[in-house]
Each structure stands twice: as structure tokens, then as C-alpha cells.
Amino acid sequence: MKGLMIQGTASDVGKSLIVTALCRILSNEGVSVTPFKSQNMSNNSYVTREGKEIGRAQGIQAEAARTEPSVWMNPILLKPRSAQDAEIVYLGKAIETLSGRGYRDHFYEKGLAVIKESLQHLADKYDVVVIEGAGSPVEINLKDRELVNMKVAELADIPVVLVADIDRGGVFASIVGTLELLEPNERERIVGVIINKFCGDLSLFEDGVQWIEEKTGVPVLGVLPFVENHMIDGEDSLSIRTQFAYPKKGTLDIAVIHLPFISNYSDLEPFLFEEDVTIRWVKYASEFGQPDAIIIPGTKSTISDLQNLKDKQLDILIKKHVANGGFILGICGGYQILGEELIDKSGSDTNIPNFHAKGLSLIPATTTFYQDKETNPVNAQYHQATGLPAHQRLEGYEIHLGKTTFSNEAKPFLTLANGDDEGYFGNDGQIIGTYLHHLFHNDEWRNQWLNMIRKKKALPVQGVKSISEYKDKRFDILANEMKSHFKWDLMKKLIHQWGTK
């Protein structure tokens, strides 16, 4: 197998972004390339064409590589459901929920076997595999049964590049400390270091590069600038903080309720590129303000997050906002929260069978949670009752537990390709609920919804912005930017000549 593994000195140092760039660089050079991450922990997921669930980052990396995303690129996905437990998604399908201890004690051999199978599958199909690690390779308390870093590099028998984030400080200590804590055989596999998120004049770090190389004997393969607005979806809560930490000021104020177990927050990212939109998180009542619209996003623990929302008295503010004519849209778990009642019949959401909770009662609906999860790609059009252009097509995906039924007559939002009704469309679009993730990645719909709000504020309507086309261009912009700072000829040599001597 030919390839390269990107590991980090810590979480959120930029591994996912670098793997994405490498996939597009190699693809641009005519190489058949695939991403791989053995085990991902994220509630930000991606549904493949077959309706299987993988980490969002690997789906995006596959798009950058110009190949079809598959479960072999991320065979194990852990989706946190509480501070202690996570749902295990195995080859795209949820199989069980385990505690951290339970996972470590009982899943290791099964995990190891599927990682080996996945690597072999990818080696048979692609010329090069670019592998992403997780966290740090020297978490001493976890190393003996880890499935994400050096064990994977050993199974694939490929070299490793270590990434360090200079923006957070302590870059020299993080590099040297990581190398010192590796076992000798692991240390031999490290062939280079990348310094990421550098701000300012790169020439000012030349002495730093020299020191690292002299101290460690490992070449610095690149010093990468801090890349803003890269439009590459993140995979964890750290990415949320980074991407939405400093909202721009626009004339449309959209408040997003920050649920503790938020999932698939990539639903929101297209708003970052609408010039007149401010998109901001709301965790507490003091942050609520007077938004033009509210979005309640998806969640991995709907009833728990509903209670959290009530505990903070955000439910009162949300209902007042709607009563005053404000727009609200709930996606997946957010849609369920907007209903009248939530019934956990199987205990799949709360671990308490037949648990009942009262929703916000903004939609006349009841959601009942069963054991089986829906994971489907979706093609749809607006339901004729909405009065929206019926010819427009929408694409996205469903990932949810629970079925939502209406207690009285209601307008559906969408008509699915199989003819089924989906979602809720109330008060001419003031209140909307849907299970469709990536709804706002549909450029025409996003424009339609924002223009509803603009009209209410007596602002001029705007035309459609093609974020989807811009996103693909961003892959090339990112790849070209990164490549200009890599020692690319050396990196290619490392990929193709490792283990040949």
C-alpha cells in the first residue's frame, strides 16, 4: 500500500483540512486517491449514496479526492450520546451503544478486524491512501488498545507526518514531547513535521524550522498559513467554536440554539457566505436578543437537549419570538423539539422505555422514538400545498431516530421522491420542521427562505448564490495554497518510496 498518514500533536490541529488538501492535490495530479480514518468520534456525519453513515470529514475528503464516499473510508464512527456513552456506527450502520470502558474492553478485536478489511479494500481500489489520525498518538493511558494512530500506520505500513498547531502556542514542546513519548519503532515511522495555522510573515519562522530539524532530526515538510473561510466542514465541537466564534455583522440576524449534543452542524455553514446574514450561537437566555429567525439544529439526544433548553428558559423566549411573527426552522432533532410531545417508546433516546416529554408545541405533532434509525439519502421537491415552486429539487439526507405524526391537519413541507410527505410548513413558512439535513446547502431553498425574511424586514430580495460551485473551487484554492507551502517533491517521494529499500 502506498500512502501517508497525518497525525497530530493534539485535537483540532488541522489534520482533517490537511488530508482534504492532500486528496485534492493528488487528484489534480491524476492519482487515484482515497481518504481513510479508522475511527471517528463526531456527531457531524455524512450519508453515502447507499444510505450508510460515515464521519463528515471523510465524506468531504472523498469529494476533494473526486471519488465516491464509502463506509470503507471510515469503518467505525462513534457518536456521543452523553458524557459517558456513544453510539457505535459500524460499516455505516448503528449497532449498539457502549460506555468508554465497554468499548475499550469489548470492541477492540472487532474494530481491528474491520480496519484491516477496510485498508485491504482501499488498497485494491486506489493507488494512494491518505490516512487521518485522531487526537495525539501518545495518549499513554490509551496506547495499548488504540485503533486510530500508530496501530493503523503499522497495519497499513505507511509513513507518518506529525502536524502541530502554532496558533495555540507551545509548538516546540508539543513536537518534541510527542516524539519523545513514541516507542522507538513508532518514532522511526515519523518522516516529517508540518507546522499549521501560522499567522504573519513566514520568513520569521525560519529559525524555528532550523531548530526543530536540528533538535529532532526530522524535516519540516511545510509551514502552513492560517486558512480562513476554507468552506471545509469540521467534525467536532472544537470546529464549531473556530468557525462561528466571530460572527460577521449582517442585516439579517439568525440565532442558532446551541444544543449540548448538537449534530450535523454543517447544515449551517452556507450562511457564513451570505453577506447580509449574521449567524450566531445562543446557549443562554442572556444571548438571545431579538433575532429575525431561529434555527434549532439536529441533536444526538433530543429529549435531553429539550430539557436543557427548558432549564435555561430558552423555550419561553422561542415561543415569544414565534408569537411575535418571528421565523423558526427545526432540523431533525430540532424539528422533534418543536412538536407537542416526544415519546421514547423503546428507550433509544433516553435509555428509559416509554419516557414522555412535552415539546414546545409550535407544531401539532408527536414524535415516537423506536429502536431503528433512519439513514437515507433524500431527493425531494416542495409540497404543492406550500405554494413554492414545485419544479425545484432539493437534496440532502436523513439520520434520525423517531417518527413524527401530526395530531391534526397540517401542510407538509416536502414531497419525497417516493411520493411520501415530509416535514411541516406552517404560517406561509414562518414555522418549518424537517428531517432533511443539508437543507440549506440547496442554494435555491436557502435563497427562498432568506428572501422571506428580507421581505418581512422590507429589505430588497437577493439572487441565488451558488455555494456548491464555490465549495468545489475552494478545494482547488486550498490545495494550491497548501501545495505552495509544502516540500511537495519530498512528500511525493515519501509516499511512493517508503519501504522500498
The string of pLDDT tens digits covering residues 483-495 is: 999 999 999 999 9
- What confidence tier does 238 reach under pLDDT thresholds 50, 70, 90? very low
Of 321, 332, 400, 438, the catalytic one is: 332
Would the pLDDT of 501 be above 90?
Answer: no
Band of pLDDT at residue 237, cut at 50, 70 and 90: very low
Residue 437 designated active-site: yes
501 Cβ contact partners less than 8 Å away, ≥ 6 residues apart = none
What's the pLDDT score for residue 152?
97
Rounded to two decimals, what is the model's pTM? 0.78
pLDDT of residue 239: 47
Choice between 246 and 177, residue whose per-residue pLDDT is larger: 177
Amino acid in position 303 = I
The mean pLDDT value of the chain amounts to: 91
Per-residue confidence (pLDDT) for residue 244, from 0 to 100:
53
pLDDT at 334 exceeding the cut of 50: yes
State the Cα–Cα distance between residues 115 and 162, nearest whole angstrom: 21
Q: What is the mean pLDDT of residues 30-45?
A: 92
What backbone phi and psi angles, to 5 degrees, belong to 440? -80, -5
Overall average pLDDT of the 219-239 stretch: 70
The pLDDT > 90 percentage for the chain reads 70
> Rounded to an integer, what distance in angstroms lies between the CA atom of residue 58 and that of residue 45?
9
Better pLDDT: 499 or 158: 158
Q: What pLDDT score was predicted for residue 230?
A: 58
| pLDDT given for residue 96 in this prediction | 84
The answer to which of 244-258, 289-303, 388-402 has the lowest mean pLDDT is 244-258
Q: Give the residue among 490, 384, 364, 357 at the shortest CA–CA distance from 433.
A: 364
Beta strands at 355-358 and 262-263: parallel, antiparallel or unpaired: unpaired
Q: How many helices (H) and strands (E) does the chain have?
A: 15, 26
Rounded to 5 degrees, φ, ψ at 28 are -65, -25
DSSP β-bridge partners for residue 57: none
Q: Is the pLDDT of residue 245 over 70?
A: no
pLDDT band at 241 (very low <50, low <70, confident <90, very high): very low
The larger pLDDT score, comparing residue 346 to residue 180, is at 180
Q: Give the pLDDT confidence score for residue 111 in this predicted structure.
A: 93
Q: How many residues are there in the chain? A: 501
Angle of CA points 182, 61, 188, to nearest 5°: 20
Q: Are 78 and 104 in contact (CB under 8 A)?
A: no
Query: Residue 363's pLDDT is what?
Result: 97
Task: Quote the pLDDT of residue 500.
Answer: 64
414-433 average pLDDT score:
95
pLDDT for 235 equals 54
Is the confidence at residue 393, as pLDDT, over 60?
A: yes
pLDDT band at 205 (very low <50, low <70, confident <90, very high): very high
Most confident of 365-374, 394-403, 432-441: 432-441
Give 380's pLDDT tier (boundaries 50, 70, 90).
very high
Cβ atoms of 171 and 215 closer than 8 Å: no
C-alpha cell read off for 233: 466542514
Active-site hit among 321, 400, 437, 441: 437
DSSP 302-322: HHHHHHHHHHTTHHHHHHHHH
Query: 82 pLDDT exceeds 80?
Result: no
Q: Is 485 designated active site?
A: no
Q: From CA 114, how far away is CA 109, in angstroms rounded?
A: 9
